Amino acid sequence: MSANSVKRILSDINNLTEHPLDSEGIYWHVNQENIYDFRALIIGPKGTPYQGGFYFFEFTIPQSYPLEPPKAKYCTQFNDIRFNPNLYTNGTVCLSILNTWAGPSWTPCNTLSSILMSLLGLVFVEHPLVNEPGFENSDDYTLGSYDSIIEHESFRGAVLYMLEHIVPGFEMFQSKIEQYFIKHYDEYREHVLYLKKYKDKRSYSLGVYSISLSTNYGNIMGELTAKYQKLTGIEFPEFSETTVQKLRKIAEGLNVDTKKTDSKGKKKVYKLKKELYDDIKMVKSS
């Protein structure tokens, strides 16, 4: 081991400990027996096709660090889908800060934290196809087709498949992704139901990566529900916390003694009852 590299790695780790990136959806782990082995989880940010997905990266730090950057490997693989122009199905990560892509290259001023933030800000973006040379000014249909493919496969591969088959060597993140999924189940459900309404049973294709897809958000919703039931033991996850709060608020309005109210007050109670019943029917049919 190089004393200089060890000292610098420990400094980077200390910085990540004092300034965690949890709020950005970034989590990390360093091998206590080999600090040159660093691993990370990036949870896809909202407003992108990667929303809620679990994306894993393995970093091998050279003994020349920080004079040279770590070697990165992208590990969330599923059905040979090219999830991003910068992320290859063979695990290659193309990023200028890692000296694997054109642009501002690595300098010793960079850190493990800056690498992770660069991945988040430059790779997990709203329209990832613009990262592919020659597609920077693509039309909305082309960009949208790739977005829709990644959005669908992120649920299948980066959420459901990773929950069930986490990448070997990343087991230390298993409880983290399960806890995140349970805590944010309402958001997953709401998003999938929205996509089921507007993007279900549609076909997309993209020549640049020779990928095509027919969406099936009904299946995804069923798998999300089954996974939530398995992890929590809750029999009716369709009554999510958001829905329960809404129904509870309506129910509070029913706490009225109709014998002491005039006809106007009774009409209000009956109206609230109808809203409650309608909401329950909506939840059951979704």
Using an 8 Å Cβ cutoff, are 129 and 146 in contact? yes
Burial label, 70 (beta-carbon count in 10 A; 0-12, 13-18, 19+): buried
Cα distance between residue 60 and residue 58, in whole Å:
7
Tokens of residue 23, six digits:
């709020």
Distances 175 to 73, 87, 225 between C-alpha atoms, Å = 22, 25, 18
Listing from the earlier edge strand, what are the strands of the sheet with 54-60?
A: 26-30, 37-43, 54-60, 71-74
Count other C-beta atoms under 10 Å from residue 50's C-beta: 28
- Minimal CA–CA distance to 70: which of 78, 60, 55, 80? 60
Mark whether 94 is an active-site residue.
Answer: yes
d(CA 32, CA 46): 32
Among 6, 21, 94, 193, the active-site one is: 94
128's CB contacts (< 8 A; 6+ apart) are 48, 49, 83, 84, 85, 146, 147, 150
CB count, 10 Å around CB of 80? 9
Cβ atoms of 130 and 143 within 8 Å: the answer is yes
3-class secondary-structure state, position 205: strand
Q: Which residues are catalytic?
A: 94
